[in-house]
Structure 1
């Protein structure tokens, strides 16, 4: 018993000492996607807001590939000292169902640090679509069953996931058309080569405002305040009860990172999320900065566990997997 107590006290003392020394070198935030994309932009904005409260140089490292799983796996295997962090999106919840040979476990292999933001999504259609509102779109979909095609930006992309849930909620199968990214998918939608797409406001707001695509609904439970989107109904209020899809980002550390360090990073994150400059930059992206209990590690983890439970049956029912 004395040995156990001694070991516990020694561990607590070592953790406290590490926290006092932390950070002892630059902190690296790994982004599991290419530079220039939405997640990379969020990471760089967050790094700018974190430098002050964390009192450290912060380096962004892009480790792209395999739908974000390569970068996440690298962090899972990194030294658990708080100097290597992960900024990841909804892929933390969908990768267990999408990838059969996943080399990490999202729930078990990370310390959760807090949810950063959420990005709403919109249902948009080609400019020549005869439907001008959600009610008319529903009638058009019913009249054209088996003929409708739905674009997405690739397996596991936000538009792919939203499209799967959209079809299941409508109890209607559409011909899905995969693209290598949002750019070419949006180009073909604006050109009328595909009928519909569900994508993030960061990718659709400008096209909606300019009239280059038609907008029908938003995927959040509450209407959006953005001027170009404020008149759009929610899918939940339009008959698809419970439909709620956002693309969120969270911050993580390798499993085993001392609690004192986790607490220190979490405190810095909470300060960063209140930074007016960060909030403004995120609003410009169409994102909503987290301001609820999910900024706490336990609630962040609980939220992701709920997202895993939500998306796993959707993905498995569609039978769409990556190796």
Structure 2
């Protein structure tokens, strides 16, 4: 089912802005949200979805605000959570910082965005760059109302038509981070790689790009690995940008897409595998008299000599009342 209403609340649960899309719920039902949330937190059962009778509350917290979706039963929970995060992203594009003060200062624009981003409870245009082409904070000053871009009614809602550049370029970055859990003896208990592919596209017109992946990459879907035979790299939690043609990817294992203009994240993924720590840190803590504590920290690199690590930071947690630190390096 779809969304019935959207509310933006302050930390006390007071309604700042609301939009009723379907008229099938009593708008006063939001008064029960904050008591239900406090009750769930006290019971240790905090969840982004709260069910009360035939009403479902789906919410996220951002800064000093709660953004809450209210709907009947059998709601698509994942769709609504994705929409709420996208709503925050669009608001941040408009107001830089989304907080209570910026919401109160921009009622008109927020109501316009509510109407454009959702229709009768179903998400519509959610690309901030497209919305900014015809919903502006100075819109009331224009003598002629701006005409919505073709992208709003086009199948490619994330890219405007008529884009022209003198020089066509595409930049691609693969960004990966390693998450690791080790015990006190130094044994690695769990390790994973979290990565994403980011692109910056400077292309004219409506280009269609194709990105091929190594045959050794296997995608995990519905709990079972799908791909060609043999041992390969098994990617999990793969998420694509909406521009990717998923049907063609399932058939050909080729990422085909018409990219948005500028910077965007094409895909993200997670890889659970045994990874040797790039930098191994050993720590010995000695407590002396007169409230003096001595930390001996050893850092050892475990990557190839030809590689270089830049901007390395070692964070040492100390008591909040620690004072007058002294350092010795070797």
| Bigger Rg over Cα | 2
The answer to whether TM tops 0.5 is no
Select the structure that is richer in helix. Answer: 1
Normalising to structure 1: TM-score of the pair? Answer: 0.20
Normalising to structure 2: TM-score of the pair? Answer: 0.20
Higher RCO (CA < 8 A, seq sep 6+): 1
